[in-house]
Amino acid sequence: MRLMKTTAIVLGLAALAVLAPPVAPAAGQADQIISVAERDFAAAGLGRKGLDLLMRKDGRVYIVASPGEIAALAALGVGYDFETGRFLRTSSEGLSAAGGINGAYHSTMELETDLRILERDHPGLASVLEIGETLEKRKILALKISDNAAANENEPAVLLTGCHHAREWISVEVPYLFGKYLLDNYDLDPQVRALVDASEIWIVPIVNPDGLEYSIHVYRYWRKNRRANADGTFGVDINRNYGCAWGIDNEGSSGYPGSDVYRGTGPFSEPETAAVRTLFASVGIDFRALISFHSYGQYILYPWGYTAAPAPEDAELGTIAAAMAGLMAAVQGTVYTHGQASRTLYVTNGDTADWAYSLRGAPAFTVELQPVDIDHGGFFNDEAAIGAVFQENLPAMLYLARYALDHPLPVRPRIVERRDRARRATAAKTKPSVRPAPG
């Protein structure tokens, strides 16, 4: 939580300041609690700046600051620490995930327990729904958060998913903690309350429970689901199994069942992707945005992943991604590289973001969480870092949810499956490396 004075932060904040107006009002940016040394506070004359002072303690002044105010402090050269995480009600008290073979990370059973706790503790605001069942008969659960969660009010909705890839344990925690944050702070934070009252936040923390359990109990680096393939190998990469550009080439996915990026026998052949399709394609829910959390690499990626050609709303997607990256960097200085997926990381086909965007025109993002590379953990994150990773993603998630609230989707669904079918017919089989690569 130390002050970051890097060029990246300054640029990020500057970019945010420039870009924010056209894409989102100030309401899309979360205030942060920061602390400043009393000596610096006095030297910079901050007492006369009209800042929202929270308290003074142990030689520091605690301030509720907007991103603009934080940027101003940075410009003045005033040192500050982010303290929001110390005040948010996102403690692990009472959580089932504490302990166990996977430490503070959720297993499938622990997650269901904790989702049910949220539902019980927040009647009316939280509803847990079973959106599918896996090959090994595990439930795929969704948490719906809204002011009247049991009812379908056709409010603007956003979908956050985690754990398409089994080994990316941190991707379960970030969307889960976001749901917990919204519920815990509904009565405390008017901005949270306004967001929840006006929208539906759908969270599927574990899309791939079978794979996650295998990763926990058998092989930590397991990525796919647990499909028993015809050739004796196991698993389909369910983030290559969606119906947009499915199997269009063998670079963005593989037709070899033993591959870590095996796309399956057909689009939506897997119960996990079918469950997400059923939810996101539902005509009764006005989904306007999606984030699919993964790890690692610190990226914010947007369509297209299957081609280097830009998406129709490439500029807008890029603007949103830049805003999210700026907000994330402002928390603790973590730099998330943003850009079109195929140009920024690698080519993928049949992935979640491409499909969600192609289906509804919804801004859809793949967020690759910390760490930045294998030297710093790869698919491993220290248990103690879960909270920090969530905190740095929190303003971006709030921002996108508010963006969705303010931006109805254009009525122009994109149909690319028909075109892709012809192209993938010519695809040849390849067997890519099974070495771990960013999610």
Q: Which is nearer to another protein, 346 or 380 (CB)?
A: 380
Among 40, 81, 133, 136, binds another protein (CB under 8 A): 136
Contacts (CB under 8 A) with another protein, residues 357-396: 374-378, 380-383
Q: Which is nearer to another protein, 22 or 94 (CB)?
A: 94
Q: Note whether 350 binds another protein by CB under 8 A.
A: no
What CA–CA distance (Å, rounded) separates 144 from 158? 10
Shortest separation between residue 260's beta carbon and another protein, angstroms: 8
Order across the sheet with 126-133: list the strands. 126-133, 139-145, 200-204, 156-161, 286-295, 364-369, 299-302, 337-340
How many other C-beta atoms can be found within 10 angstroms of the C-beta atom of residue 309?
11
Among 25, 47, 59, 99, binds another protein (CB under 8 A): 99
Q: Note whether 231 binds another protein by CB under 8 A.
A: yes
Shortest separation between residue 170's beta carbon and another protein, angstroms: 11
Q: Which is nearer to another protein, 32 or 96 (CB)?
A: 96
In 3D space, the residue among 69, 70, 46 whose CA is nearest the CA of residue 56 turns out to be 46
Longest dimension (CA), the chain: 72
Q: Note whether 218 binds another protein by CB under 8 A.
A: yes
**Could you tell me if 101 and 167 are in contact, meaning their C-beta atoms sit under 8 angstroms apart?**
no
What CA–CA distance (Å, rounded) separates 377 from 439? 13
In 3D space, the residue among 359, 365, 193, 344 whose CA is nearest the CA of residue 294 turns out to be 365
Shortest separation between residue 236's beta carbon and another protein, angstroms: 11
Shortest separation between residue 233's beta carbon and another protein, angstroms: 6
The residue length of the chain stands at 439
Shortest separation between residue 211's beta carbon and another protein, angstroms: 10
- The mark string for 250-289 relative to another protein (x by CB under 8 A, - otherwise) is --------x-------------------------------
For 220-280, give the DSSP string.
TT--S---B-TTS-B---GGG-SSSSTTS-SSSSBS-TTSTTB--SSTT-SHHHHHHHHHH
What CA–CA distance (Å, rounded) separates 177 from 420? 37
251 is catalytic: no
Among 68, 79, 103, 432, binds another protein (CB under 8 A): 103
Quick one: tokens of 384?
Answer: 């103690």
What CA–CA distance (Å, rounded) separates 106 from 209? 10
Q: Note whether 101 binds another protein by CB under 8 A.
A: yes
Q: Which is nearer to another protein, 58 or 375 (CB)?
A: 375
Fill in the amino acid letter for 164: H
**Could you tell me if 79 and 41 are in contact, meaning their C-beta atoms sit under 8 angstroms apart?**
no
In 3D space, the residue among 205, 228, 225 whose CA is nearest the CA of residue 214 turns out to be 225
Q: Note whether 402 binds another protein by CB under 8 A.
A: no
Shortest separation between residue 235's beta carbon and another protein, angstroms: 5
Q: Note whether 94 binds another protein by CB under 8 A.
A: no
112, 368, 392, 417: which is the annotated catalytic residue? 368
Shortest separation between residue 256's beta carbon and another protein, angstroms: 11
- The mark string for 185-214 relative to another protein (x by CB under 8 A, - otherwise) is ----------------------------xx
Fill in the amino acid letter for 127: S
What CA–CA distance (Å, rounded) separates 361 from 428? 30
Contact stretch for another protein (CB under 8 A) within 76-84, 107-115, 155-163, 199-207: 107-115
Q: Note whether 224 binds another protein by CB under 8 A.
A: yes
Among 222, 293, 399, 403, binds another protein (CB under 8 A): 222
Among 233, 265, 282, 337, binds another protein (CB under 8 A): 233
How many other C-beta atoms can be found within 10 angstroms of the C-beta atom of residue 421?
13
- What is the contact surface with another protein in residues (CB under 8 A)? 99-103, 107, 109-110, 136-137, 213-214, 217-222, 224, 226, 228, 231-235, 258, 374-378, 380-383, 434-436
Instruction: Just list the catalytic residues.
Output: 368
